[in-house]
Amino acid sequence: MLDYAPLQIRVRTPRLELVGADDDMLERLVPLVRGGKAFAEPAPDDDPMSFYESDPETRVNSWLQGVWRARGRFTPSEFRLGFAVLVDGRAVGMQDLIAEKFDTCATVLSFSWLSTDVRGRGLGTEMRSAMLHLAFAGLDAREAASDAFTDNIGSNRVSESLGYEPNGVEWDTRRGDPAQLQRWRLTRQAWQRRRRDDIELSGVEEFREMLTAQ
Ligand SMILES: CC(C)(COP(=O)(O)OP(=O)(O)OC[C@H]1O[C@@H](n2cnc3c(N)ncnc32)[C@H](O)[C@@H]1OP(=O)(O)O)[C@@H](O)C(=O)NCCC(=O)NCCS
């Protein structure tokens, strides 16, 4: 397997594991994307979004291209770590950590999706917790942000229950129509108050070395 530091990071919680989304992991996720299982109603993502493609092969191709583009655009300031979410060894979705102005402001954003058949069991909250542990405990982030359309109950509830505070609203388009986004922020101090001691990180040191060497 390719020894590329961003793909070697792992985050293990009692319920799931985040594993760097290398091409083997993407291959395991392809059936979910092809089968429309990454989608939700009301539509959760702003435009453009591969999951809105109606043709399954176009959808898969466009999704893969997006993941590869994000992987290739890497600087110590702006990078995106894509993780496959494994539950009992099965790949069930993705959780991404998106770093913005990281070398100066140390802020991160998140993006995620879970297969329709495993939603509503607490996994969305657990995988965001895992990502936050990586950001704050592993990478010394200062603040994590999230946003979701106001009618995306699952995502907004995940943010709220993990201690994020509301941070205003903004507008974006989804499938061409305007829709309002709820923004959230979680400070390091707020995360510290709920910090978990049952989440394990690996591969982070090598990644941090890459950030400083780049
Ligand atoms: C967002 C997502 C990852 C959340 O995952 P999940 O496993 O369903 O979330 P959880 O089971 O941890 O639920 C979190 C909370 O939201 C609530 N919730 C989740 N889906 C809900 C729904 N459709 N309606 C009402 N409440 C919902 C849960 O009851 C839970 O509330 P609680 O903390 O009070 O118990 C998942 O729904 C998903 O993949 N959605 C489509 C993609 C998406 O929206 N991504 C985010 C883009 S911003």
Q: What is the pLDDT of residues 17-58, one digit of tens each?
A: 999 999 999 999 999 999 999 999 999 999 999 999 999 999
* Pocket of ligand 1 contains residue 158 by CB under 6 Å: yes
Mean predicted lDDT score pLDDT of the chain: 97
Which position has the token pair 């993941």? Answer: 67
* Pocket of ligand 1 contains residue 114 by CB under 6 Å: yes
* Pocket of ligand 1 contains residue 66 by CB under 6 Å: no
For the entire predicted model, the pTM comes to 0.97
Integer Cα distance of 18 and 202 in angstroms: 10
Residue pair 88/55 in contact by the 8 Å Cβ criterion: no
Amino acid, res. 203: G
Long-range contacts of 51-57 (CB under 8 A, 24+ apart): 51/113, 52/175
* Pocket of ligand 1 contains residue 163 by CB under 6 Å: no
Nearest Cα residue to atom 34 of ligand 1: 157
Question: What CATH number is given for 5-213 in this structure?
Answer: 3.40.630.30
> Largest alpha-carbon pair distance within the chain?
45
